[in-house]
Structure 1
Amino acid sequence: MKKMFTKPVMAILIGGALFGGMASAHSESTGNAEADFRIAEMKKLGMNMGAIAKVAKGEVAYSDSLNDNAAQIAEIAANMPKLFPEGSGVEASRAKPEIWVEKDVFQKDIEDLQAAATQLVAAVQTGDQAMIGAALKETGGTCGACHKQFRKPKD
């Protein structure tokens, strides 16, 4: 009978299962389902950007799987307005109340992220490390600009 998994593949699968269990065990609820979902999506956004950053920095080789990372970033960016409904600015989240007061400014930041994420998808599709790095820098810049004005510092 043929082996279905090699040792490295099994190690990845087992490690992923263990990490996934640990991550869910350590995640704390804010007491607000909408805020909890938003926080989870922001973490997913960061993880996907981190995967692309490794290629942009030359730490790992480009692979077609980065297209999935870029697509997830664009999808989260597209859904960003839905991640901040009224009443989800609970104290336990890092979202500042200004999000719901300065709606036009916040919406402009979202639009900037969406445009940058679209460019990131296109850059990742090229496989060109320099283009990926430039597009990632632009996308990260939109995140940072929004965080500066609309996110509380980490405790």
Structure 2
Amino acid sequence: MKVMLTKTAVAMLAGAALFMGIATAHSESTGNAEADFRIAEMKKLGMNMGAIGKVAKGEMSYSDSLNDNAMQIAEIAANMGKLFPEGSGVEASRAKPEIWTEKDAFQKDIENLQAAATQLVAAVKTGDQAMIGAALKETGGTCGACHKQFRKPKD
């Protein structure tokens, strides 16, 4: 008996395999469940932005599945403030202490990400490569601005 897989099923299987590989690669715990969850969400954010980036760069064709990527980015952005509770700035995390000491500046960065993510969702819905690229650049810029002030460099 032949099994026929749709493109969507193949993409879902590939995505699951990729996720499992990343989850396995980062199986080391920081010793703080909140920091571990935050790190996993940041990786998920990056994976979703990467998927949209391939379309923005013309490396892949647009598909409706990108709407899910954009929605996941917006969802993570909406919950970003909850990902940094007091006490989750463990040494193994790249979060700088300034997150908790400069709360107003950090909150402003979160609000900028949330606004950009909302625009990214709208741009992805259009299917227009140029609009997607511009919105993704804006969203990535908000990430970079926050990282510059609030994230330690990699070891």
* Fold conserved between structures, TM > 0.5: yes
Per-residue deviation, 1:11 = 9.9
Distance 1:18 1:154, change over 3 A: same
Structure 2 unmatched ranges of 5 or more: none
Q: Within the alignment, does 1:113 sit opposite 2:146 as a pair? A: no
**Equivalent residue number for residue 39 of structure 1:** 39
Letter in 2 for 1:152: K
Per-residue deviation, 1:5 = 3.1
Letter in 2 for 1:26: A
Distance 1:96 1:5, change over 3 A: same
Letter in 2 for 1:146: C
> TM-score of the superposition, structure 1-length normalised?
0.91
Q: Give the secondary structure class of the aligned counterpart of 2:30.
A: coil
Q: CA RMSD in A?
A: 2.1
Letter in 2 for 1:137: K
> TM-score of the superposition, structure 2-length normalised?
0.91
Q: Which has the larger radius of gyration?
A: 1
Distance 1:114 1:154, change over 3 A: same
**Equivalent residue number for residue 144 of structure 1:** 144
Per-residue deviation, 1:99 = 0.2
Q: Distance in 2 between matches of 1:11 and 1:132?
A: 21
Per-residue deviation, 1:153 = 0.2
**Equivalent residue number for residue 24 of structure 1:** 23
Size of the aligned set, in residue pairs, is 153
Distance 1:116 1:11, change over 3 A: closer
Distance 1:133 1:31, change over 3 A: same
Letter in 2 for 1:139: T
Per-residue deviation, 1:26 = 2.5
Q: Give the secondary structure class of the aligned counterpart of 1:30.
A: coil
Q: Distance in 1 between matches of 2:11 and 2:137?
A: 33
Letter in 2 for 1:111: E
Q: Percent identity?
A: 82
